[in-house]
Structure 1
C-alpha cells in the first residue's frame, strides 16, 4: 500500500470516529449518521470474530428451518412463506437493526395473530398487513419509542424470560408425535420413542461437555452434525425434518426446495375497506413484534454486557417486515431461542445473523435434501439446552428473599406468556407493577409537626404526593384544630401529578373556610411548573425559606 493510500485510509477512519463521537454527543442526529453506523461492526470496541459468527450463523440456520415451517403451519400458510420470512427478516434486521448478534425470523407470537386474517381474507391480505406492520414499526423507530423498553420492571423481564423458556419447551414436545396408519398425529412409543430420547440426550451431552474440551467450533453445530451422521449411519428409525414437514402438510411429496422470493405488491384492493381490515392486525403485529424484539434485545444486552439501540431496532424491524410483505413472507421479529443459540455459540456481530439468513436461503435453493435429513432429535436437543440456559433459575431462589408482590408479577407474566400472548403478558405485567408501586408509594406519605416561635404550626411532609396518596395526604392535616397560620414544608416531599396539585388546592380550601391561612414552602420547580400551568384553576399561597430567596410572585395568590 502506498503512502497516499495509507494517509487516505487513516483520514477516513479518523473521520468516521469523529462523526461517531459527534453523534454520541448529540451534535449530529443519528438519522443522518446511519450510513456511518455500520462501520461500528468492525470497531475495536466490539469483540468480533468472523469465524465465530460464520459457524454460529450456520448453527442457527439449521435450527431456523423447523421453527419457520412450524410457525407457517400455525399461521395457515405454505412452509415457504415462513422460510422466506425467516430469510428476509433475519437478513435485514441483522443489517439495519440495533442489536448485533440477535436473530430474527418468523415467530409463533406473531403467527397466532395472523391465523384469523388468513382464514377470513386470504394470504394476500396477510402480506398487506405485514407491509403496514413494517410502516408502523418504522414510525416507532423514528419517534424514538424504543426507549420505553426501559420502563419494563425487572420482575416483568424475569416473567418474560421464564415464560418464553416454558413456551419453547412445550413447542418441542410436538416433535415427539408421529402420524399413525389412520393419519392421526399420536405420541411416539416403543423403540422410536427410546431412540428419540437417546439422540436428544446425546445432543445435550455434546453441547454441555464439548466446550470444556474446545471452543474452536460451536458445540451446537458439532452436536447436530454428529447426531445426524450417527442416525444416517446406523439407520436409526426416528423422524427427520422432511418427515415433520410432510406430516404437518399432509402432502407425502412436500419438500423444502424452492426458488428465490419474488417481488409482488399484495393483490388486494387499494381501498379504505382494505385498510380497515388490515389495520387492527397490523397494529397488534407491530406491538407484539416490537415488544418481543426489544425484550430479547435487553436480555442479550445483559448476557453480553453491551448496549443495543432500541430505536434503531424498531427501525430495522420495520424495514424487514415492510420488505418481507412485498416478497411473499409472513413477517417476523426477534427469536429468543435462536438468539440464545447464536450468543452461546460465539456469535456477536451482524455477520452471524447475515450468515444464518444466507445459509437458510441456500438450504431452500440447493441444499434442501441435506437439511431434510437432519433428525428432529438433534434440533430438539439444541432447543432443550436453550430452555435450560434461558430460564432464570435464580428466580426460584428469590421466592423467600424478595417481596411477595414481585414473585406474583413473575408468576403472572410467565403464566400469561404461556397460555395467552407475550404482548398481553408484558402489558399486564407493567400495569400490575405500576399499581403495586402506586400502592406502596401511597403508604409512604407522612409528616412531623412543630409550633414555631411565632405560633405557626409547621407540617414537615415526607413522601410522594400523587393520585395514589392524596387520600392519605388529606388525612394528615387537622384544619379544625390547627392555629390560624399553618405552613406545609415540602423539603422532603414531591408533588408528581395534577391530582397532587388538586389535593393542594382542596387542602387550602379547607383552611380558608375556617378563616385560616395555609402556606406551602419548598415546593419543587416541577411542582411550581404544574401550578403555573394550572393558572386560575388552583389558588395557593407559596412562601420560601429566607435562605433560598427564590420566591415566585407569579405563583402566589392570596385567598
Structure 2
C-alpha cells in the first residue's frame, strides 16, 4: 500500500531533508524513553543527539538512526531507582566498552546466522510494538492526575489529523519526490492546527503529561550543550558488581537490536553494512554518553525506516538528524513543542505499515510448521516481553529444529547430462558442521572432464563452507578438470578465491543470502 522503501540514490539534498524529518520524530520518543528509565527529559535528548551523531559518523550502516530506545530504557529502571543516575552513566560507559570489545573480536558476523523466520518475527513484533506505543498518544492526563482516552471532538480531530498525515505521505510522492513526504506532512499539519486553532495535543502537552505535577508549569525542551563529567561513583569492586549486570544486558540488547536493524536495512536497500564496525560505533557512542550525561541507546528501527523512506541513504542523513536535534534543544525548542502529536503518530503508523512483513501470512502457508512456530513465537515474545529475549529464544528454537532436521547432514544426487557432464545436485546446508560430509560426496579422480555443482537446493552459511568449496575447486583444477558452480549468492562469489572463476552467474535464478564471515563484516 505505502511505498515505504525507495530506491533513490543517496545525495546531499535527500540526506539533509530526511535528517530534518527524523529529528522531528526523535523528540517525543527520546523524552518518553527518558521517563521510562526514570531520568529527566534532557538525558534522553542528549542520548539521542550523541548516539545519532557518533554512530552515523563511524558506525557500520549508513542511513541507520540510533538514539535512546525503549529496549534499553526498561533495562535501566531498577539501577536508577535503587542507586541513582550516576550509576546509570557508569553502566552505560561500561556497556559501551563491552560493545567496542565485541567489534574488535569480530562478533558482529554472528548476526548473519539469525534464521529467516526469526528475522520475520523480529520485524513483525517490532511493527506491533511501534503501533501499540502510538496508542498512548490517544490518552491525556486529567486534572486529577488520571490517564484517560481522548473523547469527543479531541478524538475526532486527532484521528482526522493522523489520517491527513498518512494521506500526504502516501499521495505526495505520486506528484513529486523533491522533498520528503513525511517532512511536508509534519509541517502541513502543524500549520493547519495552529492556523485554525484546532484543539489538538502537541509535543509539549505530551511532555507535561509525563512529568511530575510540580514541574508541569516550567517544563521545557530547551537545554544546553552536554558537558564532560566522569560518573561520580566509587571506583571499587563493589561498584563494578552493581553496574556489571545492567551493563552486560545493555550491551547485548543494544547490539542485538542494532545488528538486526542493520540486517533489515541491508535487505531493504540491497546493500551491505559492516556488523563489526557497527558494534564499535555503538560502543563508542555509549561510552561518550556515559561521560557526557546521556542515557545511551542503540539503533531505532522506526526512525531508521523514516530515514530510508525519506530518501536518506548516506551518513549525512544521520549526522543531520543529530545536529538538527541539538539545534532544537539549544535554539528552537518552542517550535518543536508546537508540533501536533497527530502528525508524528501518522508518520509512525506509515512506518508500521511498511515495516510489518505482510507477506509472512502467505509465507506461512508455504513453509513447514516448525518455521511458522518460530515466526509466531518471536513475534509474541517481542510484543509481550523483550526483543533481545525473543531473538535469543528464536535462535535457540531454530537451532534445535535445525539440528533435529539435519542430523543426516548434506547429501547429493548425481546424474550425467546430455553433454556428458557429471552434475552434483546438493541438498542441505554447507557449514562448519557438514564440511567433512561435503568433501566425501565428490570423486575428483574418477569424475569426467566437466563437473557441475548445483547449489539450487543448498546454501553456504559460513566461511568454513566457502573454504571447503575453494579446496574442492583446487583439487579439480590440479587434475586439469573444469568445475561449474551454479546457484550461489553474491556473498559466496565474493568470498571465493580459487573457485570464483568457476562460478556461473544467473541473475534470475541465483539466491540472495548473507554469509557469516569476518571478511565482509
Tell me if the contact between 1:127 and 1:329 (Cα under 8 Å) persists in the aligned partners.
yes
| Distance verdict in 2 for CA 1:444–1:317, change over 3 Å | closer
Q: Match for 1:218 among 173, 177, 180?
A: 180
What does residue 346 of structure 1 align with?
311
Q: Match for 1:151 among 113, 128, 139?
A: 113
What does residue 291 of structure 1 align with?
256
CA distance in 2, matches of 1:175, 1:291: 28
CA distance in 2, matches of 1:490, 1:384: 51
What does residue 204 of structure 1 align with?
166
Is 1:311–2:276 an aligned residue pair?
yes
Q: Match for 1:50 among 1, 12, 18?
A: 12
Counterparts of 1:468-487 in structure 2, within 5 Å, are none
CA distance in 2, matches of 1:122, 1:442: 51
User: What TM-score does the superposition give when structure 1 sets the normalisation length?
Assistant: 0.72
5+ residue gaps, structure 1: 1-45, 447-461, 470-487, 494-525, 527-547, 549-559
Is 1:422–2:387 an aligned residue pair?
yes
Is 1:320–2:285 an aligned residue pair?
yes
What does residue 327 of structure 2 align with?
362
Three-state SS of the structure 2 residue aligned to 1:178 is strand
User: Deviation of residue 441 (structure 1)?
Assistant: 1.6
5+ residue gaps, structure 2: 1-7, 412-426, 443-463, 465-478, 480-521
CA distance in 1, matches of 2:49, 2:251: 19
CA distance in 1, matches of 2:110, 2:439: 30
What does residue 91 of structure 1 align with?
53
| Distance verdict in 2 for CA 1:190–1:439, change over 3 Å | same
What does residue 64 of structure 1 align with?
26
Q: Which of 1 and 2 has greater Rg?
A: 1
Is 1:437–2:402 an aligned residue pair?
yes
For residues 296-327 of structure 1, the C-alpha deviation after alignment (integer angstroms, 9 at most, x for no partner) is 00011111111001100000000000001100
| Distance verdict in 2 for CA 1:294–1:489, change over 3 Å | closer
For residues 434-460 of structure 1, the C-alpha deviation after alignment (integer angstroms, 9 at most, x for no partner) is 0001111236799xxxxxxxxxxxxxx
User: Deviation of residue 181 (structure 1)?
Assistant: 2.2
Tell me if the contact between 2:67 and 2:297 (Cα under 8 Å) persists in the aligned partners.
yes
Is 1:167–2:132 an aligned residue pair?
no
What does residue 192 of structure 2 align with?
230
For residues 215-259 of structure 1, the C-alpha deviation after alignment (integer angstroms, 9 at most, x for no partner) is 000000000000000000111111100000011003222110111
What does residue 274 of structure 1 align with?
239
What does residue 102 of structure 2 align with?
140
What does residue 499 of structure 2 align with?
none
Tell me if the contact between 1:64 and 1:86 (Cα under 8 Å) persists in the aligned partners.
yes
CA distance in 1, matches of 2:46, 2:428: 55
Three-state SS of the structure 1 residue aligned to 2:148 is strand
CA distance in 2, matches of 1:237, 1:315: 46
For residues 511-539 of structure 1, the C-alpha deviation after alignment (integer angstroms, 9 at most, x for no partner) is xxxxxxxxxxxxxxx9xxxxxxxxxxxxx
Q: Match for 1:117 among 76, 79, 85?
A: 79
CA distance in 2, matches of 1:445, 1:394: 30
Three-state SS of the structure 2 residue aligned to 1:186 is strand
Tell me if the contact between 1:463 and 1:492 (Cα under 8 Å) persists in the aligned partners.
no
CA distance in 1, matches of 2:184, 2:377: 38
For residues 391-428 of structure 1, the C-alpha deviation after alignment (integer angstroms, 9 at most, x for no partner) is 00000111211111111111100111111111111011
Three-state SS of the structure 2 residue aligned to 1:101 is coil
Three-state SS of the structure 2 residue aligned to 1:398 is helix
For residues 70-91 of structure 1, the C-alpha deviation after alignment (integer angstroms, 9 at most, x for no partner) is 1001000000000000000000
CA distance in 1, matches of 2:248, 2:369: 34
User: Deviation of residue 376 (structure 1)?
Assistant: 0.2
Three-state SS of the structure 2 residue aligned to 1:442 is coil
Tell me if the contact between 2:10 and 2:311 (Cα under 8 Å) persists in the aligned partners.
no
User: Deviation of residue 353 (structure 1)?
Assistant: 0.3
Three-state SS of the structure 2 residue aligned to 1:359 is helix
Tell me if the contact between 2:410 and 2:438 (Cα under 8 Å) persists in the aligned partners.
no
CA distance in 2, matches of 1:284, 1:353: 26
| Distance verdict in 2 for CA 1:275–1:209, change over 3 Å | same
What does residue 417 of structure 2 align with?
none
For residues 279-303 of structure 1, the C-alpha deviation after alignment (integer angstroms, 9 at most, x for no partner) is 1110000000000000000011111
Counterparts of 1:249-260 in structure 2, within 5 Å, are 249-250=211-212, 251-253=215-217, 254-260=219-225
User: Deviation of residue 380 (structure 1)?
Assistant: 0.2
What does residue 108 of structure 1 align with?
70
| Distance verdict in 2 for CA 1:444–1:294, change over 3 Å | closer
What does residue 366 of structure 2 align with?
401
For residues 149-189 of structure 1, the C-alpha deviation after alignment (integer angstroms, 9 at most, x for no partner) is 11101110010000000000000000000111211111111
Tell me if the contact between 1:90 and 1:103 (Cα under 8 Å) persists in the aligned partners.
yes
User: What TM-score does the superposition give when structure 2 sets the normalisation length?
Assistant: 0.77
Three-state SS of the structure 1 residue aligned to 2:140 is strand
Is 1:184–2:149 an aligned residue pair?
no
RMSD of aligned residue pairs (Cα, Å): 2.5
